[in-house]
Amino acid sequence: MFSRLRTIDIFIGILLVLTILSYFFLPGIFKIVLWVLIISVIIRLLVMTRRGIFWKIRNRLIFSALFLVVTPICLITIFFIFVGNVIIAQYGAVIINNMIADRINRLDGIANMYLSYGNPRFMSIAATRFVTMLPNLNILFWEKQENSGTFRVFFKYPKTFNEKKIVPGEFKGYFKVNNKLYHGVLNKNSKAAALLALEITQDYLDNLLAISDFRIRLPKPRPGAMNSPSTPGIDTSSEPESTSVSDDVVIRLSVLDYTYLDFDTLENSKPVERTSNFLLISDSSKIYQKIESAISHSGQGTIKKVIYGLIILFGTFIIASLIIGFRMVGVITRSINQLTRGTQRIRNGDFSFRIKTRSRDQMQYLADSFNEMAAGIDRLLIDEKEKQRLEEELRIARSIQLKLLPCDIFDTNEFEIAAVNIPAAEIAGDYFDYFYKENAYLSLLVADVSGKGASAAFYMAELKGVINHLYREVMSPASLIAECHYSLKDSFDKITYITLNVAQFRIPEKKFLLSRAGHTPAIFFNAQENECLELHPDGMAIGLITFARDKLKEVELPFQKGDILLLFSDGLTEIMNKEEEMLGIDQVKHLILENHYLSAEEIKQKILDFSIEFSETGVSRDDLTFIILKVK
């Protein structure tokens, strides 16, 4: 039962246990573990839903149709809502900036009026009277010293206002001094300078914007913000101070940027210009109510009709799209269901199933392709069975052929023999054999039937039978070749022939005879002279029309201890490497010279290893057959 559980199921089970334990023993992490458990369960449900609902193509197509219809409508709605909020935010920013600019312009006019008095005493009297009407106003008056040209403060309200960081000049707008934000004006003339500013607090902003549907919230100071060289920005993690609103109020939040002079940070005796922001709060419900009240009753009815009409239009469009989509999905999934059933039938081994459809679209093409695939697989299975049958027959033929060949290793009192026969196909056309009569002779031969495969193997077996019959009587190699030709020529077709080398070692006479019927040369290693000779007496291949007994020649040589004779087919010297270079007879002679002191079996293995290394693939394009004979 537990073997079918997935990793995520085990993980959810562990989380459930941890949640229960943390509730009783570790309440501090209970909420964290609970949320992880909830998220894991949601993910698991989504995976199950995807596998259960979206496995069928029909459900995917329906979902896609809904997505294509509903998504544009949602995007258009979101776009208009977004544009409306942007317009409201920009509208609020313009209103607030205009109200603050109007307040600053008034202060600018008052400052210029004070400077026009020209007399410090009159300026002080006028300012004292004015602050009684506007107690939140901060005023600084400077008098220019005639001797030094510097400015000296002669009036300050309130007395606690710190003027030491403010440099007389001309400025209009926001500024910060002593970590407090103000807005006002700083003007001067040839005799005096005046600063009129209002400290920006939350109460001041609330009173300023009381008549509008917008509010500004000062950002709550972060830790260490009072010592910062700039006014802190908006802390998005904090809420406005007065956030208690009724249920029918729709609050929109945005950012209002402003630029100010920072008198707390001076560069070259001048304040640094910085940028910060307010939190702009707009009551959208009141704005919408005002817009609605501005429209006449008949106009409201028209707008409602337009809205209802759009809703009906969108609804009709969605319903029509769903109806059309379901019809199209039914047409598509009908053929897909047939494909699914057909695939299941094929998996069960029934390749006779065919999809029938009357459509003339892409589904018809898919159905035809499926039917062709099923028929093709059926044919392939039949061909595969036939191939397996033929391979089994070839395997049996190869085993029978191997029984026709002698053992790879043969040892007598006078000689040691090692042979190799590796077919390029399942069955070979090469043939080797040896015949030994104690204290009399040893004959060995290597033959190569033209072509490959079954026909070559058939002629090889026929040659084997003829040679076995002829060796009942002792005859020379040339006579043996001639008798083989006359015995087999009538059974050969016009393109078949056999090449072979026949060697006969006459033990009492210590000499051997070699005759060649169009075969590759034989290699004879003379141990006394330590040299390799190529033996290639004249002779025609068996089965050729031009074959003649008198054209067969024999080579007669003495032999002694350590001499080596190599008879081979062209499959050895014609082995190719990747550069299409042949192994060649010189390489074989060199191998024998290097390893002549080894046994016949060891020399055979050296030649095989070198052949495989030379070809770099280990694959031979022709049958590979050779016999190594070494005189003891």
Q: How confident is the model at residue 338 (pLDDT cuts 50, 70, 90)?
A: confident
Average pLDDT score over residue span 553-569: 95
Number of Cβ atoms within 10 Å of the Cβ of 345: 15
Could you give the CA distance from residue 603 to residue 591 in angstroms, rounded to a whole number?
8
Q: What is the pLDDT of residue 578?
A: 85
Could you give the CA distance from residue 119 to residue 195 in angstroms, rounded to a whole number?
16
Rounded to the nearest integer, the mean pLDDT of the chain is 82
Sheet with 624-631, strands from edge to edge, namely 409-411, 415-422, 624-631, 564-568, 522-526, 531-535
pTM confidence score: 0.46
Q: What is the pLDDT of residue 284?
A: 64
Q: How confident is the model at residue 298 (pLDDT cuts 50, 70, 90)?
A: low
More confident residue, 117 or 51: 117
**Quick check: 233 pLDDT over 60?**
no
**pLDDT per residue as tens digits for the range 503-546:** 999 999 999 999 999 999 999 999 999 999 999 999 999 999 88
**Quick check: 235 pLDDT over 50?**
no
Q: How confident is the model at residue 220 (pLDDT cuts 50, 70, 90)?
A: low
Q: What is the pLDDT of residue 518?
A: 92
Q: How confident is the model at residue 598 (pLDDT cuts 50, 70, 90)?
A: very high
Average pLDDT score over residue span 93-104: 86
Token pair 């050895």: residue: 572
Angstrom CA distances, 508 to 372, 442, 489, 566, stand at: 74, 11, 35, 22
**Quick check: 584 pLDDT over 60?**
yes
**pLDDT per residue as tens digits for the range 309-322:** 888 887 887 788 77
Q: What is the pLDDT of residue 511?
A: 95
**Quick check: 130 pLDDT over 60?**
yes
Average pLDDT score over residue span 539-554: 91
More confident residue, 199 or 48: 199
| Range ranked top by mean pLDDT from 94-98, 303-307, 395-399, 624-628 | 624-628
Ordered alpha helix ranges (H), 453-525? 453-470, 477-488
**pLDDT per residue as tens digits for the range 161-219:** 877 878 788 889 998 888 889 989 999 888 899 999 988 888 888 887 766 667 777 76
Q: How confident is the model at residue 226 (pLDDT cuts 50, 70, 90)?
A: very low
**Quick check: 567 pLDDT over 90?**
yes
Q: What is the pLDDT of residue 51?
A: 61
Q: What is the pLDDT of residue 99?
A: 86
What would the DSSP string read from start to end of 117-171? H--HHHHHHHHHHHHHH-TTEEEEEEEE-TTT--EEEEEEESTT---TTPPPS-E
Nearest residue to 437 via CA among 398, 405, 471, 467:
471
The amino acid present at 13, given as its one-letter code, is: G
**Quick check: 384 pLDDT over 90?**
no
**Quick check: 300 pLDDT over 70?**
no
**Quick check: 444 pLDDT over 50?**
yes
Angstrom CA distances, 448 to 149, 396, 445, stand at: 125, 21, 10
User: 481: exposed, middle or buried (C-beta count within 10 Å: 0-12, 13-18, 19+)?
Assistant: buried
Q: What is the pLDDT of residue 231?
A: 46
Q: How confident is the model at residue 224 (pLDDT cuts 50, 70, 90)?
A: very low
**pLDDT per residue as tens digits for the range 51-69:** 666 666 667 777 777 777 7
Average pLDDT score over residue span 393-421: 86
**Quick check: 246 pLDDT over 50?**
no
